[in-house]
Amino acid sequence: MKKRNITLSYEEMPKQWYNILADIKLNPPIGRDGKPVGPDSLAPVFPMNLIEQEVSSQRWIDIPAEVLDIYSMWRATPLIRAYNLEKALGTPAKIYLKNESVSPAGSHKPNTAVAQAYYNKAFGIKKLVTETGAGQWGSALAFATSQFGLECKVFMVRISFDQKPHRKTLMQAWGAECIPSPSKLTNAGRQVLDKYPDTPGSLGIAISEAVEAAVSDQSGETRYSLGSVLNHVILHQTIIGLEAKKQMEKAGDYPDIVIGCAGGGSNFAGLAFPFVYDKMNGKKIEIYPVEPAACPSLTKAPFVYDHGDVAGYTPLLPMHSLGHAFIPPPIHAGGLRYHGMAPTVCQLVDEGIIEAKAVKQSEAFKAGVLWARTEGIVPAPETNHALAQVVAEAKKAKEEGKEKVILANFSGHGMLDLNAYEKYFSEELSDFALSDEEIEESEKIFKDYPKPQHLKSR
């Protein structure tokens, strides 16, 4: 009998996170004046225990027992050997998917949501405010805050709020308040609505609203929580790749190719960074973050300093960016509709350690349907982008006659995204492509900002 799921016991689950800042050089976040932003300036936004993780260069960081206890509700997650997909593609490649869809929220997001809720609770915080694109992060934080008795407010990108109404319901079930963004509750939201009353919204706008709502609370008991991009968020996600390495060893394999979809970078980095560590230490391995062709930050945008949000509340971050005022087309992969990318991921792309890919929406859904019909689980639209690259690499292995081992992150299920599949089946999905002129126009916003250095880690 074929062994489809490779599992780990609780005792085998990693007890530390991997911090890539121990192994790469990174341009610091800076202010408009070009000076580095210190930990104290972040204190109104994040609790100091998370700020310490954000700037830490310690390679291994212990996972608190309270976090491990909640992780054990669904972790370790299974590693799936996709025999049926291999057969359907007629490929000699071995295909493995790390199944993060088994969490209570249905995605990888609780890995950091639980950790952030824990550290905020330990610091004495009583309320968290955040943004969400497709709703996966918002629902994950709602779940996590319910576990620690915290209040939670979520600003959800308007287009996803309309496309995915049950995400709001899920957040409410866990006790969170969900607000469509842009809203009239914040100065940032009102300014956008005054200028673009029919805007579909963006993660950059929602981030501005959430940061403003958090720092304007005079009680001192509210902080902002972020679901991707920053170092401490990605740190918490590395349990995915650390588990996968142990599971691949159990299967007697090691990947030739590692793949993850990339919007802000957290699920890709969570799987990939432990393997990046191996690559920097001599392993031959290809590593691909996969983004939407409609929002091509890594594949088409320059490496610059830019704000992580529309209003410019965040420091300037070193990243590949389409410009913080850029509003992506309304694709269904709401979690990938972000103008920038995690600085750590961007640094690795800039150094050539990893190679970014981009796929069209229709190509992504085609791969997702193939997965559903072979392996049974309906994937999230975001996950479909990784699956499209998996299919492409498996077909390439067939053409070359090579038995490659492919590992990808199955970042979430699509059971709350069925309206997107309905549009795909009725041929109503559009493939959005940005012209060079549109990209150049969006990038004018940071032309006078300081420029990051092109660093080399090794």
In CATH, what number is assigned to the domain containing residue 299? Answer: 3.40.50.1100
Whether 399 and 268 share a structural domain: yes
Residue 30 lies in a domain: no
Whether the model clears a pTM of 0.75, i.e. scores above it, the answer is: yes
Of 170, 202, 230, which marks where a domain is finished?
230
Last residue of a domain, one of 230, 253, 272: 230
β-partners of residue 220 are none
218 shares a domain with 123: yes
Q: In 133-239, at which residue ranges do the beta strands (DSSP E only) sit?
A: 151-157, 177-181, 222-224
**Residues 273, 199: one domain?**
no
Report the distance separating Cα 238 and Cα 261, nearest Å. 15
How much is the pLDDT for 21?
96
Strand 94-99 relative to strand 79-81, pairing: antiparallel
Question: Tens place of pLDDT for every residue, the chain, 458 residues?
Answer: 687 899 999 899 999 999 999 999 999 999 888 888 888 888 888 999 999 999 999 999 999 999 999 999 999 999 999 999 999 999 999 999 999 999 999 999 999 999 999 999 999 999 999 999 878 899 999 999 999 999 999 999 998 888 888 889 999 999 999 999 999 999 999 999 999 998 988 878 898 999 999 989 888 899 999 998 999 999 999 999 999 999 999 999 999 999 999 999 999 999 999 999 999 999 999 999 999 998 899 999 999 999 888 877 888 999 999 998 887 777 766 667 788 999 999 999 999 999 999 999 999 999 999 999 999 999 999 999 999 999 999 999 999 999 999 999 999 999 988 989 999 999 988 888 778 888 888 888 888 888 898 888 76
Residue 291 tokens, joined: 């983004």
Of 236, 173, 233, 235, which is closest to residue 207 (Cα–Cα)? 233
DSSP state letters, 253-308: ---SEEEEE-SSSHHHHHHHHHHHHHHHTT---EEEEEEETTS-HHHHS-EEEEES
- The burial of 322, by beta-carbon neighbours within 10 Å (0-12 exposed, 13-18 middle, 19 or more buried), is given as buried
Residue 129 belongs to what domain range?
Answer: 41-56+109-230
- Same domain for 226 and 98, yes or no, is no
Give the model's pLDDT for residue 113: 98
Among 238, 243, 248, residue whose Cα is nearest residue 268: 238
Instruction: State the DSSP H helix or E strand holding residue 58, giving kind and residue range, or none if neither.
Output: none
Q: Compute the residue count for the chain.
A: 458
Whether residues 136 and 198 fall in one domain: yes
In a domain, 296, yes or no: yes
* 399 sits in which H/E element: helix 381-400
Radius of gyration from C-alpha coordinates of the chain: 20
How far apart are alpha carbons 228 and 265 in whole angstroms?
6
Structure tokens at 445: 């916003």
277's CB contacts (< 8 A; 6+ apart) are 18, 20, 23
Q: How far apart are CA 116 and CA 411, in angstroms?
A: 19
The reply to whether 455 falls in a domain is no
In a domain, 390, yes or no: yes
Whether 442 and 372 map to the same domain: the answer is yes
- Predicted local distance difference test score (pLDDT) of residue 338: 81
Rounded CA-CA distance 67/6 in Å is 23
| Residue 400: inside a domain | yes
Q: How many CB atoms lie within 10 A of CB 146?
A: 17
Write b or e for each residue in 351-368: b if 16 or more Cβ atoms lie within 10 A of its Cβ, otherwise e.
beebebbbbbbebbbbbb
Query: Cis before residue 182, ω within 30 degrees of 0?
Result: yes
Residue 383 and residue 412 in contact, taking contact as beta carbons nearer than 8 Å:
yes
Q: Are residues 141 and 236 in the same domain?
A: no
H/E element holding 335?
none
Does residue 96 belong to any structural domain of this protein? yes
Q: Are residues 152 and 240 in the same domain?
A: no
- Same domain flag for 341 and 251: yes
Written as one string, the DSSP assignment of 183-196 is -SSSHHHHHHHHH-
Residues 149, 203 within the same domain = yes
Q: Please provide residue 295's backbone torsions phi and psi, each rounded to the nearest 5 degrees.
A: -140, 65
In contact, 391 and 370? CB cutoff 8 Å: yes
Phi, psi (rounded to 5 degrees) for 318: -80, 110
With respect to residue 410, please indicate whether it lies within any of the assigned structural domains. Answer: yes
Residues 317 and 246 reside in one and the same domain: yes
DSSP secondary structure code for residue 333 in this structure: -
Distance CA(283)–CA(227), nearest Å, equals: 30
Domain annotation covers residue 16: no
Rounded Cα gap, residues 272 and 98, in angstroms: 11
pLDDT for 284: 96
Tell which of 183, 209, 230 closes a domain. 230
Cβ burial of 279 (10 Å; 0-12, 13-18, 19+) is middle
pLDDT at 458: 67
| Sheet of strand 357-359, all strands in order from the earlier edge strand to the far edge | 5-6, 79-81, 94-99, 405-410, 257-261, 286-292, 357-359
79 with 204, same domain: the answer is: no
- Number of domains observed in the structure of the chain: 2
